[in-house]
Amino acid sequence: MPYIADKGRTMTSAARFDLKMDPQEKDIVAKAAALMGTTMAGFVRAAAKEKAQALLEREARITLSQGDFAAFTQALDSAFKPNPALKQALTDVRRRVRRV
């Protein structure tokens, strides 16, 4: 059943997430939510989503030193030479797979 969330957004389904806070934490969240003009649930949801997105974006990036970056780009730019194990695997596959 749809319901109206803060700022006029309609949510068609909801997954519940219960959260326990001590009185001081609840007071802080309530004051912050009031300053933002939203409910406590809306404030916590937005803050959690923002923090989660920042963490996921940070973890999705790879940071390399200049030396590591140079080695990485050189490996990408250099000609590929298959090792003996790969050559053997390709030979085996060619024997087993029949092209139509």
pLDDT tens digits along 70-92? 999 999 999 888 999 999 999 99
The DSSP element (H or E) to which 47 belongs, if any, is helix 40-60
Judge whether residue 4 has pLDDT over 90. no
- The two structure tokens encoding residue 94: 């060619």
**pTM for the model:** 0.52
Judge whether residue 51 has pLDDT over 90. yes
HSE, side-chain direction, 13 A CA sphere, residue 54: 6
Judge whether residue 10 has pLDDT over 70. no
Q: How many other CB atoms are found less than 10 A from the CB of residue 30?
A: 14
The torsion angles phi and psi of 52, rounded to 5 degrees, stand at -65, -45
Check: CB of residue 7 under 8 Å from CB of residue 38.
yes
| Residue bearing the bigger pLDDT, 50 or 96 | 50
Residue percentage of the chain with pLDDT more than 70: 87
